[in-house]
Structure 1
Amino acid sequence: MVAKAFRDEMKPKERMEAVLTGKPFDRVPCSVQVSNQAGKLAGIHHWQCYYSAENIAKTQFAAHRIFGVESVGTGPGLPGIAEAVGSTVFYPKEENTPYIANHALNAHEDFEKLEIPDPWSKGRLPIHLKALELMVEKMGDDVPVVTNLAGPFTTAANIRGTEAFLRDLYHHPEFVHRLLKFSVDSTLAYVKEAAKLGVRFSVADPTASATLIGPKQFEEFAFPYLRDLIQSIKRLSSGAPSLHICGNTKKMWNLMADTGAGVLSLDDTIDLADAKQEVGHRVALLGNVKPTASMYLGTPDDVIRDAKECLARAYDNPKGYILALGCGLPMCAPAENIHAMFQAAKEFGKYPFDAEEFN
């Protein structure tokens, strides 16, 4: 595959705002957050970013320079709020994902010891806030700056321990509701500070997946607190956040839209055409190139083929469409596949669309 050069007419920030507000735009945006691959090419090891706001920011600047990413950012992610509350996160020096080694709440009676974290002193929250400041200062006028958060259900599980938390749904539901409310309040402490910077928000709640809980449990335990968090983000910031829940979320799409999210990020198990038909008149759609089969294990041609298929299915979504992966970018995905993703957006995502190009 020979890369082609395509000239954009809009800056990434104005393109994203145009798509999400129903205004004319030059092409479909491409949203992939790149860190590890850009860091390696810039000489910054991923482990050096865990405790350095400056290295996080430099890596994001490199991602924009090298790959042309259309948004930059950082945030507590899945474990960060739980870590700030007292859970212990292990950060491996090898290329692997951080994980929670010890949970803050091993017994119900310890709940009273928990405190809402100060985002400027607890865990790695201050590092993320400082890195966001650096990104907004340097790139905020031209490129969206995004901070990513865990949803309340996932944060509660990371405070309590997933297995214990899921058992509590059946045996101690009142305790679960208290912990979920605490998770919302703890997350909002960070949101209030990040919102002052003018950043956008992205929420992921993978533990609320249909592979772990049923529709009734989602509606009773996950949905009300996810809605409260997202509605608060909308009040505090400049726009509605995106929302991602892993797996087949088809039975949950309307509830996900009911949270107030502006964008639904959909796993690659989902047919974007189905989502467009069901909720495309309510929310923008984001996704869903295969992160493992194509982006990690595949070739640039595989990535472009997947991207073209996604565009063909969702480019005309009534509330807008953003080309992206079905989940997070694997740490070891080849750099040439990342380049291919952005090339596909520029080559095949142009407005007005020529559907024949997708074939």
Structure 2
Amino acid sequence: MSEFTLNKRFEKALKGGPTDLIPVCSVTQTGTVELMEMTGAYWPQANYDALKMADLALAGYKLAGFENVRCPFCTTVLAETLGCTVAEGSIDIQPYVTDFPCKKKKDVKDITIPGSLLESRRTSVVLDAVGILKERVGEDVPVVAGLVGPAGLASMLAGMKNYLMWFVTNPELVEELMGVLTEACIEYAKGLLERGADAVTLIDSEAGPDIIAPQMFETSVLPLYRKFCREVPGLKILHMCGDATFVLDPLADAGFEGISIEEKVGVSFAKGIVGSRVCLIGNVSPSDTLLAKGPEEVIIEARACLEDGIDILAPGCGLAPHTPLENIKALFRARDEFYSL
């Protein structure tokens, strides 16, 4: 019998302590059509109803086997709360932004944090779902809650075209917008932790080298991450899609316990950069492997992650809705076989 509960193992791994096994978790979205059919909790309703959100999130743990639970399933919660227009999506399409408030530079001045941020249509649902999940799983299973970071929110509120153009022509404007959005992220993250989340995942791919230059990241975004990490208690993870290699070194000192990387980042190379400063999470491909291949191929890729030194084995990003359940379960076969060698 292991001395570690799933929650204690997860916490130890994030903090760089010794564990009996490498955890197999998902710190990104876990909703799949197969799990929706097994629970009756379908998108888009499960994005807008706390009970359905909790039911589908719990299935990631009870039916798929992830050693944590994670919600929500989309990236539009704060964006809608702060002024974006969002389409609800469908059973296999996540909610998405259809219109945004900052069409001109002067519109940035109008972006403020509503006094009812944690009572909005979207944030209140996630907060309630987190509370339901913690009540259902207790203290032995980690609850992870996700939120979009300041760069990702800025790209939604200003539109990607403006976000990129203003970063070049008027970086102070983007920094002003991201400063306000960071405060919103801090308030929301604190609320998630207070309701029972054991860790929060800040999703901020638009701050990565695939979108902006590493120098821009270090000047404009990194100070905001440090502020977020200083002011938000509890365990914090940063997820960045794309090839984050060129910002891993500063990210490792930002204050996050973990960095979630996708398959474009080589695990062994990343470990050489970050060392023991931060936990590396990932990075089995959610699209090329978990969605499109079979269990044996999943095992091969997962085993490579383990051999290269990954600290928490996980999908490299959110699961595609049509990911087969048997492929998710193959992650655990890979981990267990790795320890039996």
Q: Per the shorter chain, which TM-score range?
A: over 0.9
Q: Which residue of 2 aligns with 1:140?
A: 138
Q: Which residue of 1 aligns with 2:30?
A: 34
Task: Kindly provide the CA deviation profile for residues 69-127 of structure 1, in whole angstroms up to 9, marking residues without a partner as x.
Answer: 21112248532212101101112124123211000222222233322032333240000
Within 2, Cα distance between the matches of 1:76 and 1:69?
A: 15
CA RMSD of aligned residues (A): 1.9
Q: 2:79 aligns with which of 57, 82, 106?
A: 82
Residue 212 of structure 1: CA displacement? 1.5
Residue 11 of structure 1: CA displacement? 2.5
- Alignment of 1:288 with 2:283, yes or no, is yes
- Alignment of 1:58 with 2:42, yes or no, is no
- Alignment of 1:279 with 2:305, yes or no, is no
- The amino acid that maps onto 1:292 is S
Q: Percent identity?
A: 30
- The amino acid that maps onto 2:274 is V
Within 1, Cα distance between the matches of 2:315 and 2:130?
A: 23
Task: Kindly provide the CA deviation profile for residues 189-233 of structure 1, in whole angstroms up to 9, marking residues without a partner as x.
Answer: 212222212421111111112122112211222222222222222
Within 2, Cα distance between the matches of 1:40 and 1:73?
A: 18
Within 1, Cα distance between the matches of 2:23 and 2:190?
A: 27
Residue 41 of structure 1: CA displacement? 1.5
2:79·2:156 contact (CA, 8 Å) conserved in 1? yes
Q: Which residue of 2 aligns with 1:25?
A: 19
1:289·1:307 contact (CA, 8 Å) conserved in 2? yes
Q: Which residue of 1 aligns with 2:210?
A: 211
Within 2, Cα distance between the matches of 1:90 and 1:179?
A: 23
SS in 1 for 2:308: helix
Within 1, Cα distance between the matches of 2:76 and 2:48?
A: 15
1:182-221 residue pairs with structure 2 within 5 A?
182-199=180-197, 200-221=199-220
Q: 1:15 aligns with which of 5, 9, 12?
A: 9
Q: Which residue of 2 aligns with 1:333?
A: 323
SS in 2 for 1:59: helix
1:76·1:128 contact (CA, 8 Å) conserved in 2? no
TM-score of the pair, normalised by structure 1: 0.88
Within 2, Cα distance between the matches of 1:204 and 1:54?
A: 24
Q: 1:104 to 1:76 in 2, by over 3 A?
A: farther
Within 1, Cα distance between the matches of 2:16 and 2:220?
A: 33
SS in 1 for 2:331: helix
1:76·1:124 contact (CA, 8 Å) conserved in 2? no
Q: 1:246 aligns with which of 241, 244, 252?
A: 241
- Alignment of 1:108 with 2:105, yes or no, is yes
Residue 172 of structure 1: CA displacement? 2.0
TM-score of the pair, normalised by structure 2: 0.92
SS in 2 for 1:275: helix
Q: 1:269 to 1:183 in 2, by over 3 A?
A: same
Q: 1:178 to 1:301 in 2, by over 3 A?
A: same
Q: 1:153 aligns with which of 151, 154, 166?
A: 151
Task: Kindly provide the CA deviation profile for residues 239-281 of structure 1, in whole angstroms up to 9, marking residues without a partner as x.
Answer: 3x11121111111111111211111111101111111111122
1:40·1:46 contact (CA, 8 Å) conserved in 2? no
SS in 2 for 1:243: strand
Q: 1:238 to 1:128 in 2, by over 3 A?
A: same
1:76·1:149 contact (CA, 8 Å) conserved in 2? no
Within 2, Cα distance between the matches of 1:95 and 1:160?
A: 26
5+ long unaligned stretches in structure 1: 1-6, 316-320
SS in 1 for 2:190: helix
Within 1, Cα distance between the matches of 2:14 and 2:244?
A: 22
How many pairs does the alignment contain? Answer: 336
Q: Which residue of 2 aligns with 1:3?
A: none
